[in-house]
Amino acid sequence: MTRPSERASESRRRSPSPAVGVDAPGSGSSADTTRPQSAAPTLNAVDAGKRREPPWVRRYASRLFYSDAAVVAGTLLAYALIALDQLTQPVSWPDGPSIPYWLLLTLLGVFWLLALDALDTRDRHMVGHGITEYRRIVNATLTVFAVVVAVAFFVRIDIARSVFIVALPIGLVALLLSRWLWRQWLRRRQRRGSYVYRAIIVGERSKVAHIAQQIRRAPDSGYVIVGALTNGDDESVAGIPILGDFAAAGDAVDEVGADTLIVAESDQLDPVTMRRLGWEMADRDVNWVVAPALTDVAGPRIHARPVAGLPLVHVDFPTLEGYKRFAKRAFDIIGSSLLILFFSPVMVVTAIAIRIDGPGPIIYRQLRIGRGGREFGMVKFRSMVADADDQLASLLDVQGTTDEPLFKVTDDPRITRVGRVLRKHSIDELPQLFNVFVGQMSLVGPRPQRAAEVALYDDDAHRRMLVKPGMSGLWQVSGRSRLTWEDALRLDLYYVENWSFTQDIQILFRTIGAVVAPGESAH
């Protein structure tokens, strides 16, 4: 059986012109560092003028545009129907002509759509990924708000305040909701293998394996790894077929129909080879993605700045001090107070159900480790038998997980009948709202653990305790009981290292979905 790399090599031997970047690393002379125009490669497999970008990218962007236009038009139309009396009044300013109010709303809608486009809210590099898309929509709407207010003030146009108080906020919420719905639509298709980028990873074997494993952990990442380019004679790495060495990049892309090249670090990829590899991908119009040796770093922390021709990447470290800490604490106090009032009937009914179900206290209090290693008493509704703690050690020993700092028992026999319902929908956690109110916990953060679990921490895991523990966290909305300790720790550290108020809001919304539709991972 012929390996893909052998087929690629044979293809290069048949090619009438040499492929760019076939020199061995470091072998280029001074003449090799500059690309002469006469050395442009002739592409046999694809037309150099043909765009390699997947067709779904343009279709999806078009759908977002029409969706945004429909939301903006619908918002302004709804406002117009509510304020019919104002539409009959022309808008005028001193020493200037008057215009109909409907024309003013039309201009506002056009300006709104232009702002959404100018701030790249539909940019193909970030749409559907992370919170950057939502942040840009908010920034675009706030820009429209600020510009219209400034123009109205300086030109002295009498615009109804309800436009700013009603129309723009409602439109912003509707835009965010529509983008969220489109994102769910896109994610469902990406989990089924459609609407994805077909990518090849280039680099050392260990780097290729790491990137592939990270992408596999997120089935809705939007990438499907179809091959790898690395040195060595093996057939595959991390289950990915090796299509050849670094020199076979162009032929490998043509062979498997890839539209993205992910470049990892490698000692063999010197600057000359990297530049030539970039030229070869540019001629095929393939997406060029560089994966630095940074892991679990959120996009807002990364800033690229060219210095002396070097694309240096600056990484900010998040801080939760000063006004940020005050804002988070204020949000916890207000949020927990409102939630206590809202869920008080549920808590009363739950207490009655626990009392009827069997003997034992209604509220269960357990010592947990909080921020900075301080102990506190975490409260929750009792969902297990009265002597549950006494049985834990033996159950973990039978299960063989006494050495893992995540004391979870599969098919736990200690859970009561009422407790199974409470735990499935996280109702047993509601009393922790009082822990949040008094400042021992936060609405969002890593889950607090027992002292015995913390005793098993390594140095990395101790970073979980740099922030207050939370009622909900990133791993609670990413798999709950299905996750291993390694995955849970990775998500908790990601939260600590990339904290932002926007991320907290996003986790809370995802928590609502996890509680309403818990799925099979909730125990």
pLDDT of residue 469: 92
* Burial of residue 131, with CB atoms counted within 10 A of its CB: 0-12 exposed, 13-18 middle, 19 or more buried: middle
pLDDT of residue 350: 92
State whether 465 and 377 are in the same domain.
yes
Q: Is residue 299 part of a domain?
A: no
Among 48-52, 170-174, 422-426, the range scoring the smallest mean pLDDT is 48-52
Higher pLDDT, 268 or 206: 206
State whether 12 and 71 are in the same domain.
no
State whether 283 and 427 are in the same domain.
no
Residue 204, classed as helix, strand or coil, is: coil
Q: Is residue 497 part of a domain?
A: yes
Domain that includes residue 181, residue range: 55-191
pLDDT of residue 432: 94
Rounded to two decimals, the pTM is 0.65
Quickly state the pLDDT bin for 475 (edges 50, 70, 90): confident
Higher pLDDT, 220 or 239: 239
State whether 271 and 328 are in the same domain.
no
State whether 260 and 154 are in the same domain.
no
State whether 216 and 339 are in the same domain.
no
Where among 293, 309, 342 does a domain terminate?
293
Is pLDDT of 377 > 80? yes
Cα(473)–Cα(495) distance, integer angstroms: 8
State whether 137 and 222 are in the same domain.
no
What one-character-per-residue DSSP string does 23-52 give? SPTT---GGGGS--GGGPPPPSSS-TTS--
Tokens of 288: 């060029």
Query: What percent of the chain is modeled with pLDDT above 70?
Result: 74
State whether 168 and 203 are in the same domain.
no
Q: Is residue 487 part of a domain?
A: yes
* Burial of residue 433, with CB atoms counted within 10 A of its CB: 0-12 exposed, 13-18 middle, 19 or more buried: buried
pLDDT of residue 11: 40
Q: Is residue 336 part of a domain?
A: yes
Q: Total domain count for the chain? A: 3
Where among 191, 221, 254 does a domain terminate?
191
State whether 333 and 352 are in the same domain.
yes
Q: Residue 450 is inside which H or E element, if any?
A: none
* Burial of residue 235, with CB atoms counted within 10 A of its CB: 0-12 exposed, 13-18 middle, 19 or more buried: exposed
State whether 368 and 288 are in the same domain.
no
State whether 253 and 119 are in the same domain.
no
Among 156-170, 234-248, 286-300, 467-481, the range scoring the smallest mean pLDDT is 286-300
Query: What percent of the chain is modeled with pLDDT above 90?
Result: 20
Residue 325, classed as helix, strand or coil, is: helix
Which of 37-46, 300-309, 320-329 is modeled with the greatest confidence?
320-329
- Model confidence over 74-126: pLDDT tens digits? 998 888 887 766 666 666 666 666 777 778 888 889 999 999 999 888 887 77
Where among 145, 172, 191 does a domain terminate?
191
Query: Mean pLDDT of all residues in the chain?
Result: 78
pLDDT of residue 8: 43
pLDDT of residue 391: 62
Average pLDDT over residues 213-223: 80
Residue 457 · residue 360 · CB < 8 Å: no
Q: Strands 223-229, 197-202: parallel, antiparallel or unpaired by DSSP? A: parallel
Q: Is residue 45 part of a domain?
A: no
Q: Please, what sign has the CA dihedral across residues 335, 341, 342, 346?
A: positive
Nearest-5° Cα angle at 24, 23 to 25: 115
Q: Is residue 521 part of a domain?
A: no
pLDDT of residue 42: 36
- Model confidence over 18-66: pLDDT tens digits? 333 333 333 333 333 333 333 333 334 344 444 456 788 888 989 999 9
State whether 349 and 423 are in the same domain.
yes
What one-character-per-residue DSSP string does 351-380 give? HHHHHHH-SS-SEEEEEEE-GGG-EEEEEE
Q: Is residue 298 part of a domain?
A: no
